[in-house]
Amino acid sequence: MSAGLMNDEMTATTQAAEVQISGSDVPRQDEILTPEALQFLADLHARFAGRRADLLAMRQRRRERIASGHDPDFLPETRAIRDDPRWQVAAPAPDLVDRRVEITGPTDRKMTINALNSGAQVWLADFEDANTPHFTNVVGGQANLYDAIRRTIDYTSPEGKRYELGEQTPTIVVRPRGWHLTEKHLTVGREPHDPMAAALVDFGLYFFHNAHELVRRGSGPYFYLPKLESHLEARLWNDVFVYAQEALGLPRGTIRATVLIETITAAFEMEEILYELREHSAGLNAGRWDYIFSLIKNFRHRGGRFVLPDRAAVTMTVPFMRAYTELLVRTCHRRGAHAIGGMAAFIPSKDSQVNEEVFDKVRQDKRREAEDGFDGSWVAHPGMVETVREVFDEVLGTRSNQLDRQRADVQVRAADLLRVDATPGRITERGLRTNVSVALRYLEAWLGGQGAVGIFGLMEDAATAEISRSQIWQWIDSEAALDDGTLVTARLVGEIVAEETEALLAEAGDDGARQRRIEQARELFEYVALSPEYPMFLTVPAYAYYV
């Protein structure tokens, strides 16, 4: 689409807001960062960056209230929205009616093709937790999506193996980065340049280049919105959508968005979030790993009541997680919206016995979700698609979803969402060491440009690494003890970090580049897990390592 198709108001707004591109050129940069696309980004920034900053400040004030002893609750000022039985979200888009299996993954070229050939109904093309914000990934991911939508994408590996699209491919749903992140390679204004909101960069480039083409092909520009903390943040997204559609001459409601409920504060505003996005809403997703991270982060100073046991013990069946997922299904179906289950982090193993146990765990997890009323669920590996499909097929039969299951039997109180102290389990030396090892290994991969990494049989991404380092920080701050009575201290953790770092360096051998990344990973881990002041997101300081 040319700049001439944009309205005059947009052109006038952006003439004084030239976008600067910093850093070395990356492949296909000129195809994606065209003058017209940059003008569109600049206008989004001019219109919405101020509100974004205000909402981020509101987040901080809310965290401070929770830290001071205030428990979150359902909002009295929006009770009328919750009590009104009449309103509904928009009917599902035709290619989002059946979402029983969704696969997540980064947008590198090989992974894009594998995800689109996986047999899932939906592919979550991830610019967030499964990706890293290296500028090559930011621009390259947009180029790969551009090609995939037009079915011109292919890839030949260094070994000569060729990858290309099959006949049937999933519906593409893009997850831009969260509101808290910036894109330092695209700035606006005078010195010092103001970095653009990464969320607007990812959304804007995808929408600008592909919205019309997607509609022409019978689909649409669909998004997953991550890490929202309030319905006001959903309102901001809705206003972005309304303006973007007007600017490109598309009808309101062309965009559809699924919100990840992956923060404890958003859990108290599910209904309001759907309401704010109702003409663009495609449902809610139970973002289980970030949800646990959010709970630890917000209640990290609140003592033993909010201290969780080993990460492996915090399953979806513990009381506070059960309340969260049941409330999500009830809320969605009451309003005609899809409820999508959490990610199955397990990945297939080459050991047949281990594989059998892994697939059994996945079946149990997804059977619970399907029987609870979820309309579909996530997998992180193509090898899990068929297993999850079989489970949902058993429950759905010939239906595309189970929006008719209203779950009026579910009654969740605010206290139910905060029953952290009812979580069974212990803090063990093995759990502590696993947290250290997983976080170090993940950070080493992240610094090398990988955002989703198989570690110890699980697909780890930024959310699971956040849990690992946040648990350690909270255990130290709360003076928690292991099951053998040993206090979790910075000194104890430091000793384990040294041991796990040595093990990683031994694996690296003479690989100098990997050795440097391991040392950087150790430095970064010690900062985000052992600093006196808790860093809100590990990816923010990690981003400083990218030029």
- ω into 27 cis (within 30 of 0): no
Cβ atoms 464, 380 nearer than 8 A: no
pLDDT exceeds 80 at position 10: no
pLDDT of residue 192: 66
pLDDT exceeds 70 at position 4: no
Provide the residue type at 221 as one letter. P
pLDDT of residue 338: 98
- pTM score: 0.95
Mean pLDDT across 134-149: 97
Active-site pick, 461, 514, 517, 522: 461
Task: Report angle CA 184, 245, 89 to the nearest 5 degrees.
Answer: 105
Mean pLDDT lowest for which of 96-110, 342-356, 440-454?
Answer: 342-356
Q: pLDDT, tens digit, for every residue of 479-536? A: 999 999 999 999 999 999 999 999 999 999 999 999 999 999 999 999 999 999 999 9
Q: Are strands 154-156 and 256-261 parallel, antiparallel or unpaired?
A: unpaired
User: Looking at 376-531, which runs of residues are DSSP E strands?
Assistant: 376-379, 453-455, 458-460
Q: pLDDT, tens digit, for every residue of 300-334? A: 999 999 999 999 999 999 999 999 999 999 999 99
pLDDT of residue 503: 97
Question: Cα–Cα distance between 132 and 540 in angstroms, integer?
Answer: 11
pLDDT of residue 220: 98
Question: Cα–Cα distance between 421 and 55 in angstroms, integer?
Answer: 30
Q: pLDDT, tens digit, for every residue of 184-228? A: 999 998 766 789 999 999 999 999 999 999 999 999 999 999 999
DSSP secondary structure code for residue 481 in this structure: B
Q: pLDDT, tens digit, for every residue of 242-293? A: 999 999 999 999 999 999 999 999 999 999 999 999 999 999 999 999 999 9
Annotated catalytic, 190?
no
Please indicate whether residue 8 or residue 268 has the higher confidence score (pLDDT). 268
Closest CA to 105 of 461, 458, 369: 461
pLDDT of residue 344: 84
Q: What are phi and psi of 163, to 5 degrees?
A: -120, 135
pLDDT of residue 189: 82
Band of pLDDT at residue 141, cut at 50, 70 and 90 = very high
Cβ atoms 256, 281 nearer than 8 A: yes
Annotated catalytic, 461?
yes
Residue 94: CB partners within 8 Å, gap ≥ 6? Answer: 218
Q: Please give the structure tokens belonging to residue 397.
A: 């039969």
pLDDT exceeds 80 at position 369: yes
Question: Cα–Cα distance between 2 and 465 in angstroms, integer?
Answer: 42
Other beta carbons within 10 Å of 212:
17
What percentage of residues in the chain have a pLDDT greater than 70? 96
Q: pLDDT, tens digit, for every residue of 171-183? A: 999 999 999 999 9
Question: Cα–Cα distance between 211 and 418 in angstroms, integer?
Answer: 41
Band of pLDDT at residue 18, cut at 50, 70 and 90 = confident
What percentage of residues in the chain have a pLDDT greater than 90? 93
Cβ atoms 14, 46 nearer than 8 A: yes
pLDDT of residue 9: 37
Task: Report angle CA 493, 68, 63 to the nearest 5 degrees.
Answer: 75
Mean pLDDT in the chain?
A: 95
Residues in the chain: 547
- Bridge partner list, 376: 340
Write the secondary structure of 417-432 as one string of H (helix), E (strand) and C (coil). HCCHHHCCCCCCHHHH
Closest CA to 257 of 359, 161, 340: 340
Question: Cα–Cα distance between 389 and 116 in angstroms, integer?
Answer: 16
Q: Which residue intervals of 119-255 are DSSP H helices?
A: 135-149, 198-216, 231-247
DSSP 288-299: HHHHHHHHHHHT
Active-site pick, 175, 335, 469, 517: 175
